Amino acid sequence: MSECEICGKEVPIPIKAKIEESILNVCDKCVHFGEKIDLPQRAAKNIKLLAKVELNEIILLENYGNIIKNTREKMKLSRTEFAQKIMEKENIIRRIEMSDLKPDNKLLDKIEIFLNINLKEKNEQKLQKKDTKKAELTMGDVVEVK
């Protein structure tokens, strides 16, 4: 479920509308404030698939560099030794440990297996129902329609 970006009403499938030079996701009652944008059927399908992927996406832990460095040090391995054992350049390992470089999936898997750690988590953002006790402003509360 999504929320209408004008009135805040929960809608299963929002409608894209161009309202005052902005493209918003709105409900069927608020679409008349602007011009409905018709997406090609294929594009609409791809957007839905993308939204599903993002919800269940595997993401890298925020402190991945520190976890790798601390685990490597606990194993009493220098950065050079660790790089040699997983067949990577020391400079790459240094940049990863400093969180300057996010490893690709192949390298991430090698690191996780060698150090016996998990650096990924599933993005499980759940849609929360609107709390009716709290008064939240929506665009509909502040927009003046002429």
Structural domains of the chain, ranges and CATH numbers in brackets:
2-57+125-138 (no CATH), 59-122 (1.10.260.40)
Distances (CA, A) of 7 to 25, 75, 127, 146: 11, 56, 18, 17
H/E element, 141: helix 139-142
Query: How far is Cα 126 from Cα 136, in angstroms, rounded to an integer?
Result: 19
Model confidence at 108: pLDDT above 80: yes
Place of tokens 């479920």: 1
Question: Under a CB-based contact definition with an 8 Å cutoff, are residues 8 and 136 in contact?
Answer: yes
Mean pLDDT of 64-74: 94
- The pLDDT, as a whole number, for residue 137 is 65
* Predicted confidence (pLDDT) per residue in 2-46, tens digit: 888 888 888 888 888 888 878 888 888 898 888 888 765 445 445
Q: In the predicted model, what is the mean pLDDT of the chain?
A: 79
pLDDT of residue 129: 45
Cα separation, 29 vs 17, whole angstroms: 12
Structure tokens at 23: 């493209």
- How high is the pLDDT of residue 128? 45
Find the helix or strand (DSSP H, E) in which 58 lies: strand 58-60
Of the listed ranges 74-88, 107-121, 128-142, the least confidently predicted one is 128-142
Identify the pLDDT of residue 85.
94
Closest CA to 82 of 72, 92, 91: 72
Residue 139: predicted pLDDT = 66
**Is the pLDDT score of 127 beyond 60?**
no
